[in-house]
Amino acid sequence: MTGKVEICGVDTSTLPVLTNDRMRELFPLVHGGDHIAREEFIRGNLRLVLSVIQRFNNRGENVDDLFQVGCIGLIKALDNFDVTQNVRFSTYAVPMIIGEIRRYLRDNNAIRVSRSLKDIAYKALQARERLMTEHGREPTITELAEKLEMPREDVVYALEAIQDPVSLFEPMYNDTGDAVYVMDQVKDEKDADENWLEGISIREALRRLGDRERRILRMRFFEGRTQMEVAGEIGISQAQVSRLEKSALSQMRKYV
């Protein structure tokens, strides 16, 4: 993406950059219906769209598509921007562009989310904004569920369903050196070194037992059989199975 000069037929190297003073001059003209001023304003902020879509360059999406969706967000930001507020246009526009791209990615995600779940999630997001305005803090899931009069589990499930998937190769940190990726922060508990070593120790300890004790432990702990079932198959009493099992485990603890 970063090496591409032409996007949607636009030579990005020739895009102009508007100064804040020029944008302030154009705002009344744009809102007054001047199409030439509107085109100049949009073209002068296309670099803003380019900077935003860099955040999504690991999603495997077509760059031209993202650029066009980002331009829609830019136009919406221009149409809704309140010039009376003491806010820079870029500060207002960037979240609008990001939101438009995220909606596009959600709607075109291979993992389809049902319309009912999306509706619940969007209602929860709206309720979240209202509660934040009322209380000045992030609301809890319980508060959202009470506001929507829905079970807490349904709200959690709906919000999780609309989350954008993250690539394992998404960079999390880069300080001029090697980047730290998401996959570097993911831990597989099942394949941890300590589990691997523990498995070796258990196998070694099992080899030190007699055939009958090893068979009893395998049936009890690897096959999930009861002591009565083991006793019936081996041909001894349940009490003998219990005694042999305890003795075998005691021996194994010396080696593990």
**Domain limits at 249?**
190-255
Residue 207 lies in a domain: yes
Q: pLDDT of 52-91, one tens digit each?
A: 888 887 666 778 888 889 999 999 999 888 888 888 888 8
44 burial via Cβ count (<10 Å: 0-12, 13-18, 19+): middle
Higher-pLDDT residue of 12, 22: 22
Q: Give me the number of domains the chain comprises.
A: 3
10 DSSP β-pair partners: 7
The pLDDT assigned to 189 comes to: 56
| Same domain as 89, residue 37 | yes
What is the C-alpha to C-alpha distance for residues 247 and 169, in angstroms, rounded to an integer? 50
Q: What is the mean pLDDT of residues 206-216?
A: 88
* Average pLDDT score over residue span 227-234: 89
CA 93, chain centre distance (Å) = 23
Q: Is residue 236 part of a domain?
A: yes
Q: Answer yes or no: do 91 and 148 share one domain.
A: no
Answer yes or no: do 44 and 77 share one domain: yes
Rounded CA-CA distance 42/71 in Å is 8
What is residue 116's predicted lDDT score, i.e. its pLDDT?
Answer: 76
What pLDDT band is residue 4 in, cutting at 50, 70 and 90? very low
- Are residues 46 and 17 part of one domain? yes
Same domain, 210 and 233: yes
Of the chain, the percentage scoring pLDDT greater than 70 comes to 76
Indicate if 94 and 119 belong to the same structural domain. Answer: no
Enter the DSSP assignment of 16: -
Average pLDDT over residues 192-205: 67
* Cβ neighbours, 10 Å, residue 159: 17
Position 2 pLDDT exceeds 50: no
More confident residue, 110 or 16: 16
**DSSP state string for 137-200:** SPPPHHHHHHHHTS-HHHHHHHHHHTSPP--TT-EEE-SSSSPEEGGGG---GGG-HHHHHHHH
Q: Residue 102 maps to which CATH number?
A: 1.20.120.1810
- Say what the pLDDT of residue 87 is: 81
How sure is the predictor about 29, in pLDDT bands with cuts at 50, 70 and 90?
A: very high
Q: Examine the fold and report which residue of 107, 134, 151 is the final residue of a domain before the chain moves on.
A: 107
For residue 247, pLDDT beyond 70: yes
Q: Is the pLDDT of residue 46 over 80?
A: yes
125: domain CATH number?
1.10.10.10
The mean per-residue pLDDT over the stretch 37-45 comes to 90
pLDDT at residue 253 in the model: 82
Residues 153 and 219 in one domain: no
Q: Which of 79, 107, 135 is the last residue of a domain?
A: 107
Are 31 and 83 in a shared domain?
A: yes
Site of tokens 């002591």: 227
CA-CA distance, 66 to 53, in Å (whole number)? 7
The answer to whether residue 154 is domain-embedded is: yes
